[in-house]
């Protein structure tokens, strides 16, 4: 789960079942750093687009993000997301980045059937 992959169908079902949605690829394999929307919001908060994407995820009820990092400075940046909050408008702008073709890890024939929004 990441800003370019909507989960409007899955999230309410998981909440109802008392389950969390885990974002295993929350930075969309680096695509978040190319988004003008995320860059603009990041500049406003003194953060980078990856931090904004991670904040957007964890600020949602029932979402857990697991970013991968092989460099200490990136791991530190990934943790530095608890000193700011996104506005409802910013949350909506980021949610608006979702695209039906937004899946970045998509082995042929394995995309889940709920992956429609």
pLDDT at position 58: 95
Non-local (6+) Cβ contacts of 41 within 8 A are 49, 52, 86, 90, 93, 94
> Is 37 in contact with 44 (CB distance < 8 Å)?
no
**5's tokens:** 């992959």
CB atoms within 10 A of CB 16: 8
Q: Cα dist. 35→1, 44, 101 in Å?
A: 16, 14, 16
pLDDT tens, residue by residue, 5-19: 888 888 888 989 999
pLDDT at position 82: 96
pTM value? Answer: 0.85
User: What are the domain boundaries of the chain?
Assistant: 20-93
């Amino acid at each position: 789960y990441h800003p370019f992959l909507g989960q409007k169908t899955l999230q309410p079902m998981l909440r109802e079942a008392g389950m969390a949605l885990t974002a295993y690829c929350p930075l969309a394999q680096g695509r978040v750093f190319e988004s003008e929307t995320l860059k603009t919001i990041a500049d406003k908060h003194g953060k980078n687009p990856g931090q904004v994407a991670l904040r957007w995820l964890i600020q949602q009820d029932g979402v857990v993000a697991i970013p991968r990092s092989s460099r200490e400075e990136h791991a530190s940046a990934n943790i530095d997301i608890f000193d700011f909050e996104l506005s409802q408008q910013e949350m909506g702008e980021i949610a608006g980045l979702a695209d039906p073709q937004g899946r970045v890890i998509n082995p042929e024939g394995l995309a889940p059937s709920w992956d429609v929004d």
